[in-house]
Amino acid sequence: MDSVGTNRTPLRSAAAAAPATRSSALPWPHCHPAVGNRLAATKLGIAARCGGAGGYFGKVQRFDAARSTTARAQSGKAARSVIREMGHTASDSEMPLKYSSGKAFPLGVSQVDGGLNFAIFSQHASSVTLCLKLPERGTQDDEEIVEFALDRQKNKTGDIWHVSVEGLPASGVLYGYRINGPQGWQQGHRFDDSVILLDPYAKLVSGRKYFGVDKEESSQFFGTYDFDSSPFDWGDDYRLPNLPESDLVIYEMNVRAFTADESSGLGPAVRGSYLGLIDKIPHLLELGVNAVELLPVFEFDELEFKRFPNPRDHMVNTWGYSTINFFAPMSRYASAGGGPVAASKELKKMVKALHNAGIEVILDVVYNHTNEADDANPYMTSFRGIDNKVYYMLDLNNNPQLLNFSGCGNTLNCNHPVVKELVLDSLRHWVKEYHIDGFRFDLASVLCRGPDGSPLDAPPLIKEIAKDSVLSRCKIIAEPWDCGGLYLVGRFPNWDRWAEWNGQYRDDIRRFIKGDPGLKGVFATRVSGSADLYQVNNRKPYDSINFIIAHDGFTLCDLVSYNSKHNDANGECGRDGCNDNYSWNCGVEGETNDLIVRRLRSRQMKNFHVALMISQVYIIDLPWLLFMSNRVVYDLQVTTQ
Q: With beta carbons less than 8 A apart as the criterion, state whether 401 and 135 touch.
A: no
Q: With beta carbons less than 8 A apart as the criterion, state whether 406 and 482 touch.
A: yes
Given the residues 151, 199, 304, 442, the one annotated as active site: 442
Beta strands in 140-188 (DSSP E): 142-149, 156-157, 160-166, 174-180
Residue 572 belongs to what H/E stretch? none
Question: How many whole angstroms from its chain centre is CA 530?
Answer: 30
What CA–CA distance (Å, rounded) separates 355 from 437?
A: 10
Q: Which amino acid is at 492?
A: F
Bridge partner residues of 252 (DSSP): 293
Annotated active-site residue 261? The verdict is no
Q: With beta carbons less than 8 A apart as the criterion, state whether 189 and 389 touch.
A: yes
Specify the pairing of strand 115-121 against strand 108-112: antiparallel
What CA–CA distance (Å, rounded) separates 364 from 521?
A: 33
3-state secondary structure of 393: coil
Looking at residue 455, what DSSP letter applies? Answer: B
Bridge partner residues of 301 (DSSP): none
Bridge partner residues of 59 (DSSP): 144
Q: With beta carbons less than 8 A apart as the criterion, state whether 641 and 603 touch.
A: no
What CA–CA distance (Å, rounded) separates 326 from 220?
A: 17
* 127 conformational bin, left if phi > 0, alpha if psi -120 to 50, beta if neither: beta
Task: Give me Rg for the CA atoms of the chain.
Answer: 25
Q: With beta carbons less than 8 A apart as the criterion, state whether 243 and 290 touch.
A: yes
3-state secondary structure of 112: strand
Q: How many CB atoms lie within 10 A of CB 187?
A: 14
What CA–CA distance (Å, rounded) separates 591 from 587?
A: 11
What CA–CA distance (Å, rounded) separates 213 from 45?
A: 10
Given the residues 192, 304, 479, 576, the one annotated as active site: 479
Helix, strand, coil percent values for the chain (each to nearest 5): 25, 20, 60
Annotated active-site residue 479? The verdict is yes
What CA–CA distance (Å, rounded) separates 343 from 209?
A: 11
Residue numbers annotated as active site? 442, 479
